[in-house]
Amino acid sequence: MQENTQEKSPIKQRMLLFLAEKGMTQYEFYKNTGVTRGILTQNNGISEDNIARFLAYFKDVSIDWLIAGIGTMFKKDDLPKATPSNQPNNGIPLIPLSAMAGALTDESSILEYECERYIVPAFKGADFLIPIKGNSMYPTYLSGDLVACQKIPLKSLFFQWNKPYVLDTKQGALIKRIKPGSDKDHVLIVSDNNEYDPFELPCSEINAVALVLGLIRME
């Protein structure tokens, strides 16, 4: 089947988002799936054959999300599961949005906060869970979704471009994708929702950072 000649399709854009969430390079993607090499970077449509190859390889992707942008990118049943911890100080704390900045900076009052804790075997390296607020990261994350996060020391920080991060900034806590800025002193802050324009942020205004490991489902 011939590829449609048009602007880059929303399906391609969502495929690229999914690869970024998985941490898979395009080279690995083409090699493992059999999808036509280079197709994701071309400004045109995508064939049904290539969509079928994508779905056959990534069995955890939501078809509704991939085709129509409805819901979240992962099938609900395939999301990592979180179960409540029965022991104090055991498990990953669920931090309220109002305390997010403190959680990123290891503020003891926050870390000792009487928050709920959960066991999430898929994200053993996570330091905390936080809820998503608003729709700036739609359709990847919906308002109310929970994500697992891992703190990254600023002294050893290097960004994995296009991955989602939690940033503590002068503007407050942000959950966004990070891309290269216009120079080494800035980063580009990008929302998944196209209605929100990207903007540059001085690196000097970043107080703390955590990598978003992934979305979870509560049991």
**How sure is the predictor about 170, in pLDDT bands with cuts at 50, 70 and 90?**
confident
The per-residue pLDDT for 179 is 94
Over 70: is that where the pLDDT of 109 sits?
A: no
Task: Quickly count: other Cβ atoms within 10 Å of residue 32's Cβ.
Answer: 12
Q: What tens digit of pLDDT does each residue of 110-151 get?
A: 555 567 888 888 888 899 999 888 899 988 888 888 899 999
How far apart are alpha carbons 146 and 130 in whole angstroms? Answer: 6
What does pLDDT average to over the chain?
A: 85
Angle at CA of residue 17, ends 166 and 8, nearest 5°:
135
Q: What tens digit of pLDDT does each residue of 32-58 get?
A: 999 999 999 998 889 999 999 999 999
Q: Which alpha helices (H) appear in the chain, and where do they start and end?
A: 10-22, 26-33, 48-57, 63-68, 100-104, 108-111
Torsion of CA 190, 9, 33, 79, to 10 degrees: 50
pTM of the complete model beyond 0.75: no
The per-residue pLDDT for 76 is 73
The per-residue pLDDT for 2 is 47
* All structural domains of the chain with their residue ranges: 10-75, 81-218
**How sure is the predictor about 102, in pLDDT bands with cuts at 50, 70 and 90?**
low
Q: If you average pLDDT over residues 182-206, what whole number do you get?
A: 94
Among 67-71, 97-101, 202-206, the range with the most confident prediction by mean pLDDT is: 202-206
The per-residue pLDDT for 3 is 46
Q: If you average pLDDT over residues 185-199, what whole number do you get?
A: 94
Cβ atoms 138, 69 nearer than 8 A? no
Nearest Cα to Cα of residue 92 among 148, 169, 12: 148
The per-residue pLDDT for 75 is 82
**Given its phi and psi angles, is residue 2 left (phi above 0), alpha (psi -120 to 50 degrees) or beta?**
beta
3-state SS assignment for residue 179: strand
Domain made up of 81-218: CATH architecture? Ribbon (2.10)
